[in-house]
Amino acid sequence: SRYYALVLVQNGSEKSYLADLLMMRGYARLAGVTCDLPGGVQGADDYGRYLLDLGKAARQAKRGAWGRK
């Protein structure tokens, strides 16, 4: 069996999912496994698209690893 976790971190005065922050800042990319999110707020497919959009914005802005040569 495998267990997956969604990690919440304190980001200034609010809490954010670690995956969101990593994608937004250009330190991650999406590949592989999807899962259902807590509370049924978004489906796994919608969340995957959301993370891809964050990664694309990070790439275009050359943030994080995308800005390194």
Which long-range CB contacts under 8 A does 2-6 form with residues at least 24 apart? 4/33, 4/35, 6/35, 6/37, 6/38
Q: What is the pLDDT of residue 57?
A: 92
Q: List residues bridging with 11 in a β-sheet.
A: 14
For the question of whether the overall pTM of this predicted structure is more than 0.75, the answer is no
Categorize the per-residue pLDDT at 61 as very low, low, confident or very high, splitting at 50, 70 and 90: very high
